Amino acid sequence: MANTWGYGAMTNHFGDVVQNSKAMMVIGGNPAAANPIGMKHFLQAKDRNGAPLIVVDPVYTKTAAKADHYLRIRTGTDVAFVYGLLHVIFKNGWEDKEFINERVYGLDEIKAEAKKWNPEQTSDVTGIPAEQIVQVATVLAKNKPATVVWALGITQHSTGTSNTRIIPILQLVLGNMGKKGGGCNIIRGHDNVQGSTDMCCLADSLPGYYGLSTGSWKYYAKSWGVDFKWLEGQFAAPKWMNEKGFSLAKWWQGVLQEEKTYSSSPIRALWVQGNGITSMAQTAKVQEALDKLDLLVIADPFVNEAAVITNRTDDVYILPIATQFETEGSVTATNRTSQWRSKVVEPLYECKADHEVMFAFAKKFGFYDEYTRAMKMDVKDGVLQTVKKDFNWPDDASDEIARIVKTIGLGGWTAKRLREHQENWHMFDPLSLEGYGPMKGQYYGLPWPSWDTKHPGSPVLYDVDTPVNEGGMGFRNRFGLEHNGVSQLAESSVTVKGSKIKGGYPEITKDNIEKVLGITLTADEKSKIGANWKVDHSGIIQAKCREKGVAPYGNAKARSIVWNFPDPIPLHREPIHSPRPDLVERFPTYPDQENNFRVETKFISEQTKQVWAKDFPTMLVTMRVVNLSGAGMLERSSKYLSHITPEMFANIHPDLALEYGLKDGDMMWLHAPQGTKIKVKAQYSFSVTPDRIALPYNFAGMMQGVDMSQNYPEGTKPYTTGESSNTITNYGFDIITQIPEFNAGLCRIEKA
């Protein structure tokens, strides 16, 4: 199962924005509530650099309240909006021609699509006034470098992947990538969510984003000191090794088997370790699936509300887990830096840390030795081998990661270095991240890639004006050497500063290393070197690259065409449940999807099943509130935090409320296209227009009007319970990642 929420990482960092950004566009994010520390930096950039703040959001948020330009977009139309900006930029010749020619592939198709999106057409689709589109395009073109910041308003759509591609394309066109003060600063969510994706709490890759392929599995088998055949034998059949698993968004389908499902058998047991369950879309389906399972195990410091919304009376196990204050180890922040954390107290009462629970189960299942073996291994004389009898937690776990995960360059993240950074916090500049004294020549937290144990970390990705050994690099050569006869490498004029290799170069392999780097390997080196930089345990490829000032992953072009995606260039497609039937005809969604993450997913058949807007006329957006987080159980168990939002509510414009005879504070039913409903309090607000409402997503404990609170074990009921917005967020999933379409849907209001 997987957490598929996050999509990307920051290319730059908050301090860089303060120091270098000349403009900022926050699109689909509300850091004032969801990342107040990040927000502080944007306000500083406004003050220090006079950088205008542009906020693009369907709701007038607390972030929007600080904006110089607030654009009230209709949900699910960001691709159209960015094409609208590109239209104005190309029309005026404001694109960075040199950057595009040297470092970008496939922009002609983007240009052709942008031509269609003149300000009037863009305005009709997005709801943003045409003059504002021209104005903001001008601001971005005239204030360089500009950074673009986004979060969930961009990813939680059936077109989420296209959203996350069109914005970097905008930054490429403006020449803002690989620049201090520029880049795409995607604010990741939870504490350590970046680390959890890097470490593969994902159903479609191996740790470090190694693909699901026999080659990657073999690399991991070797890295873990286990036999590949043994690993293969752990699967029901070998073919499942290279198949994506179920995703967190649709695991319930594996239980209910209502839509077409591709797996060896139905899911019968669910183990939840650190996920709120009610934070998922389709909560009514989740409830049905929870009821149907044979076994439910929840490992959580709190009573996870999965145990509360189910009607089952048996076979639910709640394992008390230690909090982060009771454990030690590294976590990864949104800007790709690692931080070491110390244990504050030993685990209290009978609770155990997550890894202890995992170890206990591995023992019970009989693979504890294989599970922990890599922590006893190391590379000696260029050869990976077992070097000791026992391991030392958590340091050896961190060193294992550093030894194995080459793809994103974690080679430098040894426990020793991370501990030194923690001990020397005061020796780093909080804005530039540069170290002084004993930390001189390193960046705080060694932002990845930190290729090897001498590397300082890379605070700004793709920066060719900085030597590789000091944090610079080109774009990664990830998609072959050429496509349709066009080279994918950077032009000859793009030499990474200080590099001995001029211009673009491919990713380094055993076969090309001598030619690309102009060196000759010894017979001993040849016998030890791995097939390519991603799987080279010997460290030879990295060492040779260091000598030449070369990034082992190549120096290539960024591509704006993804030839193997359903939409090779991002295209506007209406949300599955759109308020504009006329636009559904012009911009239909994708064909239904046969099999992604083991399940069928409906797209066009759902979009055209009926004219949804007729029966469900109001748009639905979900949001975060500053005092609650995630599924909300933690904070709703705090007297003081729950007091701020004592009840589940919806922000509703008085004009809309009055259409339904709702006074401020009245209860109302909200009905969803999938036939579900929730009962919530109407809270008058001018942050929304009369065509839309906004709901926090951090409540649980009620299901479609039914109070489930008798299910909390004695003494655990939080101070506040309420309906989960996710009972009515509409059916719809991103075509690639399967992120639910939390942020573009429809509902119908009824006075309760």
Binding-site ranges for Mo ion (CB under 5 A)? 5, 189
DSSP letter assigned to residue 598: T
Question: Cα dihedral sign for 6, 275, 158, 678?
Answer: negative
Q: Candidates 23-31, 259-267, 428-436, 608-616: pick the segment binding ligand MGD (CB under 6 A).
A: 23-31
Q: Whose Cβ is closer to ligand MGD: residue 59's or residue 316's?
A: 59
Residue closer to Mo ion, measured from CB, 279 or 469: 279
Select the binding partner of residue 107 from Mo ion, ligand MGD, none (C-beta < 5 to 8 A, by kind): none
Q: How far is the CB of 632 from ligand MGD (least distance, A)?
A: 6
CB of residue 556 vs Mo ion: minimum separation in angstroms?
A: 30
Minimum CB distance to ligand MGD smaller for 88 or for 744: 744
What is the nearest approach in angstroms of Mo ion to the Cβ of residue 744?
A: 17
**Contact of residue 570 among ligand MGD, Mo ion, none (CB under 5-8 Å per partner type):** none
Closest CA to 109 of 126, 86, 125: 86
Within 10 angstroms of residue 237's Cβ, the number of other Cβ atoms is 9
- Cα within 13 Å of Cα(614), Cβ side: 7
Instruction: Answer yes or no: are the C-beta atoms of 238 and 214 closer than 8 Å.
Output: no
Residue 493 has phi, psi (to 5 degrees) of -75, -10
Q: Binding pattern to ligand MGD, positions 606-625, x when CB under 6 A?
A: ---------------xxxx-
Question: DSSP E strands: which ranges in 407-524?
Answer: 482-483, 486-487
Least distance between Mo ion and beta carbon 57 (Å): 17
Q: How far is the CB of 223 from Mo ion (least distance, A)?
A: 29
Cα-Cα-Cα-Cα dihedral sign, residues 631, 633, 634, 637: positive
> Which of residues 153 and 189 has its CB atom nearest to Mo ion in the complex?
189
Q: Which is nearer to ligand MGD, 164 or 450 (CB)?
A: 164
**For residue 418, which amino acid is it?**
L
Q: Contacts with ligand MGD in 77-96 (CB under 6 A)?
A: 78
742 scored as a contact of ligand MGD (CB under 6 A)? yes
Q: How far apart are CA 276 and CA 272, in angstroms?
A: 8
Judge whether 679 and 667 are in contact, CB under 8 Å: yes
Beta strand pairing call for 329-332 and 338-341 = antiparallel
320 forms part of the interface with ligand MGD (CB under 6 A): no
What is the nearest approach in angstroms of ligand MGD to the Cβ of residue 357? 8
Nearest CB to Mo ion, comparing residues 194 and 683: 194
> Near ligand MGD by CB under 6 A, which window of 271-279, 406-414, 526-534, 710-718?
271-279
Q: Residue 729 CB, nearest distance to ligand MGD (Å)?
A: 5
- Cβ at position 489, least distance to ligand MGD in Å: 34
Instruction: Identify which range of 87-95, 341-349, 628-636, 709-717 contacts ligand MGD by CB under 6 A.
Output: 628-636
Q: Within 13 Å and on the Cβ side, how many CA atoms surround 700?
A: 33
What secondary structure does DSSP assign to 667-679, as a single string? Answer: EEEEE-TTS-EEE
Does 685 contact ligand MGD by CB under 6 A?
Answer: no
**Contact positions with ligand MGD (CB under 6 A) in 344-373:** 354
725 in contact with ligand MGD (CB under 6 A): yes
CA–CA separation, 638 vs 739, rounded Å?
30
Closer residue to Mo ion (CB): 7 or 105: 7
Q: Which of residues 388-447 bind ligand MGD (CB under 6 A)?
A: none
User: Using CB distances below 5 to 8 A depending on partner kind, what does residue 742 bind out of ligand MGD, Mo ion, none?
Assistant: ligand MGD
- 147 strand-pairing partners: 24
Query: Considering only CA atoms, which of 166, 191, 43, 186 is closest in space to residue 110?
Result: 166
- Contact between 189 and ligand MGD per CB under 6 A: yes
* C-alpha–C-alpha distance, residues 729 and 649, integer Å: 15
For residue 252, the partner it binds in ligand MGD, Mo ion, none, with Cβ less than 5 to 8 A by kind, is none
Contact window for ligand MGD (CB under 6 A) among 234-242, 268-276, 425-433, 474-482: 268-276
Should residue 190 be labelled a site residue for ligand MGD when binding is judged by CB under 6 A? yes
**Is 162 or 469 the residue whose CB approaches ligand MGD more closely?**
162
Query: Is the separation of the CB atoms in 726 and 280 below 8 Å?
Result: yes
Segment (H or E) for 599? strand 599-601
The item of Mo ion, ligand MGD, none sharing an interface with residue 538, based on CB under 5 to 8 Å by kind, is none
SS3 letters across 231-264: HHHCCCCHHHHHCCCCCCCCHHHHHHCCCCECCC
Task: Pick between residue 192 and residue 730 the one whose CB is nearest to Mo ion.
Answer: 192
Which range, of 51-59, 198-206, 286-294, 382-390, touches ligand MGD by CB under 6 A?
51-59
β-pairing, 701-703 vs 677-684, is unpaired
Nearer to ligand MGD, 124 or 491 (CB): 124
The entry of ligand MGD, Mo ion, none that residue 279 binds, CB within 5 to 8 Å by partner kind? ligand MGD
* Residue type at position 283: T
Q: Which residues contact 374 (CB under 8 A, 6 or more apart)?
A: 223, 224, 225, 400, 403, 404
Q: Is 55 in the site for ligand MGD (CB under 6 A)?
A: no
For residue 653, report the phi and psi dihedrals to the nearest 5 degrees.
-70, 140
Residue closest to 690 by CA, chosen among 619, 610, 747, 584: 619
For ligand MGD, the closer of residues 77 and 143 by Cβ is 77
- Span of 518-526, 608-616, 702-710, 739-747 interacting with ligand MGD by CB under 6 A: 739-747
State which of residues 73, 125, 173, 545 lies at the interface with ligand MGD (CB under 6 A).
73
Residue 411: name its binding partner from ligand MGD, Mo ion, none (Cβ under 5 to 8 Å by kind): none
Binder to ligand MGD among 252, 443, 533, 697 (CB under 6 A)?
Answer: 697
List CB contacts of 359: < 8 A, sequence separation 6 or more.
368, 371, 372
Tell me how far, at minimum, the Cβ of 190 lies from Mo ion, in Å: 6
Q: Which is nearer to ligand MGD, 274 or 498 (CB)?
A: 274
Q: Which does 676 bind (CB under 5 to 8 A by kind): ligand MGD, Mo ion, none?
A: none
Which of 584, 566, 602, 597 has the alpha carbon at shortest distance from 732?
A: 602
Nearest CA among 195, 142, 666 for reference residue 445 = 195
Q: Is 28 in the site for ligand MGD (CB under 6 A)?
A: yes
Strand order in the sheet with 269-273: 269-273, 295-300, 316-320
Q: Cα 393 vs. chain centroid, distance in angstroms?
A: 28
The entry of Mo ion, ligand MGD, none that residue 22 binds, CB within 5 to 8 Å by partner kind: none
What is the spatial distance between Cα 144 and Cα 177, in angstroms, rounded to a whole number? Answer: 11
Residue 448 and residue 409 in contact, taking contact as beta carbons nearer than 8 Å: yes
Which residue's CB is nearer to Mo ion, number 151 or number 353? 151
CB closer to ligand MGD out of 443 and 742: 742
Answer whether 81's CB lies under 8 Å from 126's CB. Answer: yes
- Judged by beta carbon distances under 5 to 8 A according to partner kind, the member of Mo ion, ligand MGD, none in contact with residue 201 is none
What does 683 interact with, of Mo ion, ligand MGD, none (CB < 5 to 8 A by kind)? none
- Paired with 620 in beta bridges are 693, 745
Residue with smaller CB distance to Mo ion, 275 or 414: 275
Cβ(748)–Cβ(645) below 8 Å = no
Closest-CA residue to 708 (of 307, 138, 130): 307
Q: 384: which strand partners?
A: 379
Exposure class string for 485-496: b at 16+ Cβ within 10 A, else e: eeebbbeeebbb
The verdict on 137 binding ligand MGD (CB under 6 A) reads no
Q: What residues from 287 to 306 belong to the interface with ligand MGD (CB under 6 A)?
A: 299-302, 304
List interacting residues with ligand MGD (CB under 6 A): 5, 27-31, 33-35, 56-59, 61, 73, 75-76, 78, 151-153, 156, 189-190, 273-276, 279, 299-302, 304, 321, 323-324, 354, 621-624, 626, 628-631, 633-634, 697-698, 725-726, 729, 742-744
